[in-house]
A and B are shown apart, each in its own frame.
Chain A
Amino acid sequence: AQKITQTQPGMFVQEKEAVTLDCTYDTSDPSYGLFWYKQPSSGEMIFLIYQGSYDQQNATEGRYSLNFQKARKSANLVISASQLGDSAMYFCAMRDTGRRALTFGSGTRLQVQP
């Protein structure tokens, strides 16, 4: 069965610094995809970045990058040059062959301080 673990309920970071949000996953399927979503206080879910299990390079999207360590089954999100607008809940999610829907972790609340 799929499982996503986010061990940091809350994180603080100073504006303009980088921050890493942790995510570990468990699946026996060699084919899977990993996703990160941002949920601001307004409640909308915003797709940030995707990493496929066979991708050779770590995914990057602007200030977001994914530190993918397949052997350790981790897919940490790195946000560079944090901005006040980055304050939100961040969810890691996974899809594999066994389920088309995404399985989400419990989330990490990030607060960016000026």
Chain B
Amino acid sequence: GAGVSQSPSNKVTEKGKDVELRCDPISGHTALYWYRQSLGQGLEFLIYFQGNSAPDKSGLPSDRFSAERTGGSVSTLTIQRTQQEDSAVYLCASSLSPPRTTKGSYNSPLHFGNGTRLTVT
């Protein structure tokens, strides 16, 4: 089946402009996540959606960053007044709602899209 789809794959924008990044998760996946990966670095968590609500938005670096999800499906990450330090690859992932096993472990892996490479000039 289709995987996680992100668009655009590349985005170059001028400092101060707003950008919107789109994520289309795997059908049936109720959980959706946004991460950011700077060049050669690990993955930095931004926000987690369960359905249309975001119970964990603790990773958003500033109020310039916001995200929404509609219809329990597509999500949009918006960065306002972009800065050069916002340049990174933005990765979206989806998973089944982490099922709690009888022993309490959460074993739903995240399935990632190919990311959007954002360059702020």
Contacts and interface: CB of A to CB of B under 8 A. Distances in A.
Interface of A: 30-33, 35, 43-45, 47, 50, 52-55, 91, 93, 95-97, 99-107
5 contacts: A31-B106, A44-B114, A54-B105, A95-B106, A104-B43
A96 B104 CA distance: 9
Contacts of A47: 109-111
A54 B107 contact: no
A82 B33 CA distance: 32
B62 interface: no
A50 B31 CA distance: 18
Interface of B: 31, 33, 35, 41-43, 45, 48, 50, 55-56, 59, 89, 91, 93, 98, 101, 103-107, 109-112, 114-115
Given A45-B112, A47-B110, A104 B42 contact: yes
Given A44-B112, A47-B110, A32 B50 contact: no
Contact of A43 (B31, B45, B89): B89
Nearest to A105: B42
A101 B106 contact: no
Question: Can you list the 8 inter-chain pairs with the closest CB atoms, starting with the nearest?
Answer: A52-B105, A31-B104, A54-B103, A45-B112, A47-B109, A104-B43, A106-B42, A101-B48
A101 to B, nearest CB: 5
Contacts of A31: 103-106
A68 to B, nearest CB: 12
A102 B33 CA distance: 9
Centre residue among A31, A100, A104 by max chain B CB count within 10 A:
A100
A101 B101 contact: no
Given A54-B104, A100-B56, 15 more contacts: A30-B104, A32-B105, A35-B109, A43-B89, A44-B112, A45-B43, A47-B111, A52-B105, A55-B105, A91-B43, A93-B43, A100-B55, A102-B110, A104-B45, A106-B42
B51 to A, nearest CB: 12
